[in-house]
Structure 1
Amino acid sequence: MTLGSFALGTDAFVISGVLPSLAKGLDVSLEAAGLLVTVFAGVYALSAPFLAVATGSLDRGRVLMIALSGFVAANVLAAAAPNYTVLMAARIVAALSAAIFMPAASASAAAVARPEERGRALTTVLGGLTLASALGVPIGTIIGNTANWRATFVLVAVLSLIALIGLARVLPPTPATNIPSLADRARAAKLPGIPTILLGSMLTYCSMFALYAYIPWFAEHTAGIGSGAVSWVYLLYGLCGVLSNMAAGWLIDHYPPRRVAILASALMVISLGLLTLYAWADMGDTIVSGVLLYVLIALWGLIGWVINPAQQKRLIITAGPRGPVALSLNGSAVYAGQAVGSLAGGLMLTHGSTWLMVTTVMLQILALLVLCLPAPSGTHVPAAEAAGSAKAHETAESSGSAKTTEAAGPTDAR
């Protein structure tokens, strides 16, 4: 299941690293290629709640088999896609498969593990997504830019196939758990304070993906970093994100999560503002320019991954007994942010790197303003009780940086 989540996480984000070569290979504009990121995230965000309910009565093992089979097929189709339309169709199938897999994997991990090891099992499965960002994306980018962008999809298909074979051999029958209905999700979304938290998460990822989806373009236009070296940018960002995530777990255990989210968001505005000044300065293809870009990307990565774990703990505390359902809604909010952000970033490419960064900063300022809105005067259960009843959820969420909970455990909310 961890290998499956690693493959899914790699597939979701690695396409950003090969966008320039993909656009050239399919003879489409970079903006059109960027829609592959937008559509994947948008389909995931919209379909995840409905697919979770639709597959809720099936054995979790069968659901995982269906999801991984669809994911393998989608990536094989992407690797062989003769044109942009077929590739877009493949990305839609991949998004639907990912939306089915992650909730089922989390529920299965919680079901097969002993109660005292449940938190560790959830953390391990969701750790695949963290590793995908830190290692899968750079490796996939290197392969795609060294060989061909199609090779990246072949890599993901092979990893998914190995995960599928392994699960078919070892996963015991795992009966379905009580999956929240759409009505349950709607009620959770209306709880006091929840809409504001979800909006803050969405806007944060809008800002993040306005730039993340187009890092290769930005690196080339500001520092002259070509496709061969851009994988190091992704590696640096991913590793800094892992460190940021580890720090987030400590911070939200020792300080109010709302305060942590606001401070991190404010620092994000500053780091993105520095990147905006860097783009405006137009230092050209120099060693100093390249080094400065790496430093600013590292700063961005060290700060950015703190916000989502803080938001997730806020949801757990605010929603009380409905915390797991609220966390699953956060997954859709995050993917919706990715979709809107990558679309906004694509629209700014024709205006230059400075305007791309101005858009990114403005989105983060909006996120900060939403995070600063007054919190509910009370919670549905005492904070300590809510935190204790969801300890496993928090552990998994903090380690995965961008995950949520579906029924028995966290799901992908990257």
Structure 2
Amino acid sequence: MRVPAITATLPSGAARKPILLMTLGAFALGTDAFVISGVLPAMGQSLGVSLETAGLLITVFAGVYALGAPFLAVATGSLDRGRVITIALAGFVAANVLAAVAPNYTVLMAARVLAALSAALFMPAASASAAAVAAPEERGRALTTVLGGLTLASALGVPIGTLVGHVANWRATFVLVAVLSLVALVGLARALPPTPAANIATLADRARAAKLPGIPAILLGSMLTYCSMFTLYAYIPWFAERTAGIGEGAVSWVYLLYGLCGVLSNMAAGWLIDTYPPQRVAMLASALMAVVLGLLTLFAWAGPSGTAVSGVLLYVLIALWGLIGWVINPAQQKRLIVTAGPRGPVALSLNGSAVYAGQAVGGLAGGMALSHGATWLMATSVALQLLAIAVVCLSARARNTTDPAPAAPATSASPAAPAEEATR
């Protein structure tokens, strides 16, 4: 999921309330997408399934989002964006209520599928609506504010949701997300004015964008990067307990540290990719992340330890992971924009699917490595990151992404459409 930094002030006037409510919706969706890893061990134990099987809940959510987003975009392209937002949030509330009361693993899996489809509907429509309701000179701030809800979700929503799951139980985490989503739904039903449908790119447009020179390699690099990251992220509680003796009660601090470092990294990424060629930023950040993952592998290989030193060391490594890892996706996005030229917004929508596909495969790869221990888990993550580095480097050599691609017909006439396409 693309998570820009919150660097702008709120838009003014009548647009402020609906934009704040859409930001709340984005916060709820972002929390739901990532918090499940924090309560995964408790969920598996409660439902009587192994941790690997419980991990499939992450894989299915991300996979459904990646595959469903383009088709949902086309299917709902003619609808008013406000109606799409209402449908999406209603589905999201229902999905989290169903998850909270799920009597078994099968029902919970169905709830995660519904949540993924709802999330895939909401974020693009909310981005388009934010750009439409704001004054022309404030559209950038409006879009940044709504997408900033995802940043806050990673930095605050996930640790808070994990803590709630530990203090109460994992079902309470889904109740929290459902309540936040319901507040956003009721508020937007009253505050959001009609927003005409955007001119959404067709599946054929997306296929053509995916075939542009240099685009497939960049998308593959993004997918492999998130494969590597989610191999570990999906199972952080399991890893922290076995390598540093950090139990479920303290793992919220791990997520908080990772999220806050990610916010700082994301803020710095904008300056980096505007100052240096994005392919260089992507290559350097990818290489540094491989080094950090390698250190985490050595940390796991050293054996389980519950000492204060091992805990501090894990926190340091997690902080470095967050600071470095969040630079890669903005750099990849900048490469897509420059390489795709006028088709940049459509290329960014493909990157969203690539990121979620990487999360799905990474969660699956991590689950398969669990039975072999923490060292194997990290070795799998490192191997995937090395593949990502190879693809990023080869794509940078094959095409100089500092030169725009040949002009191509734009796929969108609406000012809001590029914002919407970029989040799909």
Under a length normalisation based on structure 1, what TM-score does the superposition of the two structures give? 0.93
What are the Cα deviations for residues 362-385 of structure 1, in whole angstroms up to 9, with x where unaligned?
Answer: 0000000000014454669748x9
**Alpha-carbon separation, structure 1, partners of 2:166 and 2:279:** 41
**Alpha-carbon separation, structure 2, partners of 1:195 and 1:109:** 30
**Alpha-carbon separation, structure 1, partners of 2:212 and 2:247:** 48
**Alpha-carbon separation, structure 2, partners of 1:222 and 1:198:** 33
1:243 maps to what in 2?
Answer: 264
1:120 maps to what in 2?
Answer: 141
What are the Cα deviations for residues 39-81 of structure 1, in whole angstroms up to 9, with x where unaligned?
Answer: 0000000000000000000000000000000000000000000
What are the Cα deviations for residues 184-220 of structure 1, in whole angstroms up to 9, with x where unaligned?
Answer: 0000000000000000000000000000000000000
Aligned partner of 1:83: which letter?
N
Gap change, CA 1:230 and 1:410, over 3 Å in 2:
farther
What are the Cα deviations for residues 89-123 of structure 1, in whole angstroms up to 9, with x where unaligned?
Answer: 00000000001111111111111111211111110
Mapping 1:97-108, distance limit 5 Å: 97-108=118-129
Mapping 1:138-157, distance limit 5 Å: 138-157=159-178
**Alpha-carbon separation, structure 1, partners of 2:399 and 2:104:** 54
**Alpha-carbon separation, structure 2, partners of 1:378 and 1:299:** 29
* Unmatched tracts of structure 1, length 5 or more: 387-392, 394-404
Task: Determine helix, strand or coil for the equivalent of 1:351.
Answer: coil
Select which of 215, 238, 242 maps to 2:236: 215
1:76 maps to what in 2?
Answer: 97
Q: 1:49·1:182 contact (CA, 8 Å) conserved in 2? A: yes
Give the superposition deviation at 1:409: 3.8
1:400 maps to what in 2?
Answer: none
Task: Determine helix, strand or coil for the equivalent of 1:28.
Answer: coil
Mapping 1:120-199, distance limit 5 Å: 120-199=141-220
Q: 2:352·2:423 contact (CA, 8 Å) conserved in 1? A: yes
Q: 1:122·1:410 contact (CA, 8 Å) conserved in 2? A: no
Task: Determine helix, strand or coil for the equivalent of 2:37.
Answer: coil
Task: Determine helix, strand or coil for the equivalent of 1:296.
Answer: helix
Alignment partner of 1:272 is 2:311:
no
**Alpha-carbon separation, structure 2, partners of 1:71 and 1:85:** 18
**Alpha-carbon separation, structure 2, partners of 1:382 and 1:143:** 48
Gap change, CA 1:334 and 1:406, over 3 Å in 2:
farther
* Unmatched tracts of structure 2, length 5 or more: 1-21, 409-414
Q: 1:177·1:407 contact (CA, 8 Å) conserved in 2? A: no
Task: Determine helix, strand or coil for the equivalent of 2:394.
Answer: coil
Give the superposition deviation at 1:285: 1.0
**Alpha-carbon separation, structure 2, partners of 1:374 and 1:67:** 37
Mapping 1:4-83, distance limit 5 Å: 4-83=25-104
Select which of 276, 300, 324 maps to 2:345: 324
2:411 maps to what in 1?
Answer: none
1:299 maps to what in 2?
Answer: 320
Q: 2:23·2:148 contact (CA, 8 Å) conserved in 1? A: yes
Gap change, CA 1:83 and 1:367, over 3 Å in 2:
same
1:363 maps to what in 2?
Answer: 384
Give the superposition deviation at 1:408: 3.6
Q: 2:231·2:362 contact (CA, 8 Å) conserved in 1? A: yes
Select which of 289, 297, 301 maps to 2:310: 289
**Alpha-carbon separation, structure 2, partners of 1:18 and 1:145:** 8
**Alpha-carbon separation, structure 1, partners of 2:145 and 2:422:** 12
1:398 maps to what in 2?
Answer: none
CA RMSD of aligned residues (A): 1.8
Gap change, CA 1:181 and 1:297, over 3 Å in 2:
same
Kindly, what percent of the aligned residue pairs are identical? 82
Alignment partner of 1:260 is 2:260:
no
**Alpha-carbon separation, structure 2, partners of 1:12 and 1:380:** 34
User: Aligned residue pairs: how many?
Assistant: 396
**Alpha-carbon separation, structure 1, partners of 2:335 and 2:417:** 17
Aligned partner of 2:30: which letter?
G
Task: Determine helix, strand or coil for the equivalent of 2:132.
Answer: helix
